[in-house]
């Protein structure tokens, strides 16, 4: 925090300073952990030695959303992998150190355009995923006075009910609409149910 205050950096809940609230960090960590598990099948306890290789592989692998590698988004060009050096590809055999320097500068100059292109691709990818997801979403909207059933959770389930215990309980009356997809409930006797309930935990009760 002292470092951030010195350089006037404002940390918000979407930064790695709060990893539980950072979905992108969680997703990246999941990829790294899964790759480590595959590498450590025969090398238990050597994750520290394998971590740099896994991180390098992750940074040089194209991502589905952007169709580009994280490395190219930072440096403007793709990384030279060890296989290209050993196989003497055209990229490595025709370029010299002197010729490579101006080419790298040109790549850095075009990196911002590459990032803008990646942003457009990511936005298009997200819209495609959203449309696919929304096709299978069952939109439920209740009004005040509707009778609904409430999902039974493990902490509210009768311990002696066994496997044949009902998955829903009620009916309850919709008392008020708290927000989009959130409702306050009351029993048929007029007793208020603690806290609001999400629509995903409710379903319409048919008399």
CA torsion 49-50-52-58 (nearest 10°) is -170
- For residue 184, what pLDDT is reported? 92
Nearest to 183 by CA among 170, 171, 197: 197
Confidence of residue 28 (pLDDT cuts 50, 70, 90): confident
CB neighbour class for 64 (10 Å; exposed up to 12, middle 13-18, buried from 19) = exposed
Determine contact, residues 202/150, Cβ cutoff 8 Å. yes
Indicate if the alpha-carbon torsion angle 38, 42, 46, 52 is positive or negative.
Answer: negative
| Domains parsed from the chain with CATH numbers | 2-135 (no CATH), 147-204 (2.30.30.140)
Q: Which residues contact 75 (CB under 8 A, 6 or more apart)?
A: 104, 107, 108, 111
Provide the angle, in degrees to the nearest 10, between the axes of the packed helices 23-39 and 47-59. Answer: 120
Q: Which of 17-21, 58-62, 89-93 has the highest mean pLDDT?
A: 58-62
* Predicted TM-score (pTM) of this structure: 0.52
Using the predicted structure, report yes or no on whether residue 15 has a pLDDT greater than 60.
Answer: no
Q: Which residues contact 138 (CB under 8 A, 6 or more apart)?
A: none
Using the predicted structure, report yes or no on whether residue 124 has a pLDDT greater than 90.
Answer: yes
Using the predicted structure, report yes or no on whether residue 17 has a pLDDT greater than 60.
Answer: no
Provide the angle, in degrees to the nearest 10, between the axes of the packed helices 111-135 and 97-109. Answer: 50
- For residue 24, what pLDDT is reported? 67
Nearest to 25 by CA among 33, 15, 35: 15
CB neighbour class for 190 (10 Å; exposed up to 12, middle 13-18, buried from 19) = exposed
């Amino acid at each position: 925090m002292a470092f951030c205050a010195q350089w006037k950096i404002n940390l918000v809940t979407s930064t790695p300073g709060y990893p539980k609230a950072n979905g992108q960090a969680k997703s990246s960590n999941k990829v790294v952990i899964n790759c480590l598990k595959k590498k450590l099948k025969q090398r238990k306890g050597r994750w520290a030695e394998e971590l740099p290789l896994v991180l390098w592989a992750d940074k040089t692998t194209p991502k589905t959303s952007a169709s580009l590698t994280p490395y190219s988004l930072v440096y403007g060009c793709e990384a030279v992998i060890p296989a290209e050096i050993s196989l003497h590809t055209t990229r490595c055999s025709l370029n010299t150190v002197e010729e490579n320097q101006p080419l790298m500068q040109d790549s850095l100059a075009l990196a911002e355009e590459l990032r803008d292109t990646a942003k457009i691709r990511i936005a298009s990818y997200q819209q495609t995923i959203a449309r696919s997801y929304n096709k299978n979403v069952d939109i439920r909207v209740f009004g005040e006075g509707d009778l609904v059933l409430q999902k039974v959770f493990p902490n509210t389930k009768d311990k002696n009910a066994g496997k044949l215990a009902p998955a829903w309980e009620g009916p309850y009356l919709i008392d008020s609409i708290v927000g989009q997809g959130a409702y306050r409930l009351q029993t048929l006797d007029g007793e208020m149910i603690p806290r609001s309930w999400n629509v995903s935990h409710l379903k319409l009760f048919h008399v």
